[in-house]
Amino acid sequence: MKIRSAKVIVTCPGRNFVTLKIETDEGLTGLGDATLNGRELAVASYLTDHVIPCLIGRDPQQVEDIWQYLYRGAYWRGGPVTMSAIAAVDTALWDIKAKAAGMPLYQLLGGRSRNGVMVYGHANGADISETVDEVAKFLDLGYKAVRAQCGIPGLPSTYGVSRDKMFYEPADADLPTENVWSSEKYLDHVPQLFERLREKFGFGPHLLHDAHHRLTPIEAARLGKSLEPYRLFWMEDVTPAENQAAFRTIRQHTVTPIAIGEIFNTLWQCRTLIEEGLIDYIRATVVHAGGITHLRRIATLADIHHVRTGCHGATDLSPVCMGAALHFDTWVPNFGIQEYMTHTEETDAVFPHSYWFEDGYLHPGDAPGHGVDIDEELAAKYPYSRAYLPVNRLEDGTMYNW
């Protein structure tokens, strides 16, 4: 079998998505997600200008060799643009391999390890009582796990809190909007939210929270300590991880479980975190961490250190990524949870898929491959539209962390 052609499809059915489609000389096609929020066209160009010419004529069955060729073979290794491009190729090749075998992808990976993939939804509100109401809606829909975020008194806007509740879109403007941040105000408020949530819903549902890299290590330690009575499933991205050793400080102070990794793109960015047992959940996912081939390596290292998976699944990861992640989640032995933000109807129509939600779980379906397709005619009706995530400043105007 040979790769006959490959192309990049950029579409914006409510938000931008970049998709790689690979075709073989035997008529099989494979799809991979290459979406990098706010930097979409950089990956599209990387693929079209620098990767696709090297793929034509190769045997698509050599998934590992092609991964090594694109990663090890390039002088400039790693980084989100490169690794999202490699992920797109890798995902499309696994899709082709599974279709050629006539199997759903999870069968090729090693078969089913569970009946369904537990997911968490996103509840957010302008204040505590609105957030409590939003959590109730997710529980009514059958979710077993809910992430809760709420507005902070004294801060005009907070990332993760939106007007549109079920189809929350973080890339909200064609130039970055600016949010204002105060760790002091945040740290005082968040424990009150979880106190109310536990009072109202008890300890049955899993509750999660995301700090979006905004705390220093000692502040993160304080957050973890103050949330201990409410027994969270995890606190996420409490501090940036450029300095992995900083997580030792957090770990020494709190037993609140720690999740990180949605912006990681290689194993090297989480090696210390995993090997020293500094985290509990690794959030890397298919599209930004080099595809199934590399994510599998991360998960295997995590497994021997009692770290479980918790794949990123925000709306900027396309249904193609979600489909592939669900096959991965169905197989991976050390599965923890999968994030699930529902896409808009327009997005779902452009990407017909076989996965479905029922009673708190997602199921990948049994279609051969990863089970996600693209309607190219429909996709062409939604041209690219520039959109950025917001940026964040302290109250005195200082540029601050994501």
Ligand X SMILES: O=C(O)[C@@H](O)[C@@H](O)[C@H](O)[C@H](O)CO
* Binding positions for ligand X, rule: CB under 6 A: 37, 170, 210, 212, 262, 312, 314, 316, 339, 389
Least distance from ligand X to the Cβ atom of residue 33, Å: 13
- 314's contact among ligand X, Mg ion, none, with CB below 5 to 8 A by partner kind, is ligand X
- Contact segment (CB under 5 A) with Mg ion among 3-11, 96-104, 181-189, 204-212 equals 204-212
Does the active-site annotation cover 50?
no
Distances (CA, A) of 3 to 241, 307, 378: 38, 37, 25
Q: Which C-beta is closer to Mg ion: that of 134 or that of 210? A: 210
CB closer to Mg ion out of 101 and 166 = 166
383 exposure class (CB count in 10 Å sphere: 0-12, 13-18, 19+): exposed
Quick one: 209 or 294, whose CB is closer to Mg ion?
A: 209
Question: For residue 236, which of 204, 279, 276 has the smallest C-alpha distance?
Answer: 279
Residue 343 contact, options Mg ion, ligand X, none, Cβ 5-8 Å cut-off depending on partner type: none
Q: Is 212 assigned a catalytic role?
A: yes
Cβ-closest residue to ligand X? 314
Nearest distance from C-beta of residue 211 to Mg ion, angstroms: 9
373 binds, among Mg ion, ligand X, none (CB under 5 to 8 A by kind): none
Cβ closest to ligand X, residue 104 vs residue 160: 160
d(CA 342, CA 89): 25
Closest separation in Å from C-beta 312 to ligand X: 6
In the numeric block, which tokens belong to residue 308? 């479980």
Quickly list DSSP for 323-345.
HHHHHHHHH-TTEEEEE--PPPH
Closer of 90 and 236 to ligand X (Cβ): 236
Choose, from 189, 206, 209, 212, the residue flagged as catalytic.
212
Does the footprint of Mg ion cover residue 219 (CB under 5 A)? no
- Residue entry with tokens 């690219």: 384
Phi and psi (nearest 5°) for 356? Answer: -150, 160
Q: Given candidates 90, 95, 210, 280, which one binds Mg ion under the rule CB under 5 A?
A: 210
Helix (H), strand (E) at residue 356: strand 356-358
Contact 164, 344 (CB under 8 A): no
> Edge-to-edge, what's the strand order for the sheet holding 29-33?
3-11, 17-24, 29-33
Closest distance to Mg ion from the beta carbon of 220 (Å)? 14
How far is it, in rounded angstroms, from Cα 62 to Cα 24?
13
Q: Which partner, ligand X, Mg ion, none, binds residue 37 by CB below 5 to 8 Å per kind?
A: ligand X
Rounded distance between C-alpha atoms, residue 10 and residue 16, angstroms: 7
CB of 178 to ligand X, least distance (A): 16
- Using CA atoms, how far apart are residues 98 and 82, in angstroms rounded to an integer? 24
Q: Which residues are designated catalytic?
A: 159, 212
Which spans of this chain sit near Mg ion (rule: CB under 5 A)?
Answer: 210
